[in-house]
Amino acid sequence: MMTNYDDQVQFLELIRDTMSKIKDEIPHLESWPEAEGYLNGSTFVLRLMSQMLPPNLSKDISQYLDSEIKLSNEMIDRLRREGLL
Distance of CA 49 to the CA centre of its chain: 11
pTM: 0.86
Q: Using a pLDDT cut of 70, give the percent of the chain over it.
A: 100
Which DSSP state fits 28?
G
Residue 2 has pLDDT above 90, yes or no: no
* CB proximity list for 64: less than 8 A, separation 6 or greater: 15, 16, 19
Residue 79 has pLDDT above 90, yes or no: yes
pLDDT tens, residue by residue, 37-70: 999 999 999 999 999 889 999 999 999 999 999 9
Q: Which amino acid is it at 66? A: D
Residue 74 has pLDDT above 90, yes or no: yes
| Per-domain residue ranges of the chain | 5-81
- Which of 6, 19, 3 lies closest to 62 in space, CA to CA? 19
* CB proximity list for 84: less than 8 A, separation 6 or greater: 27
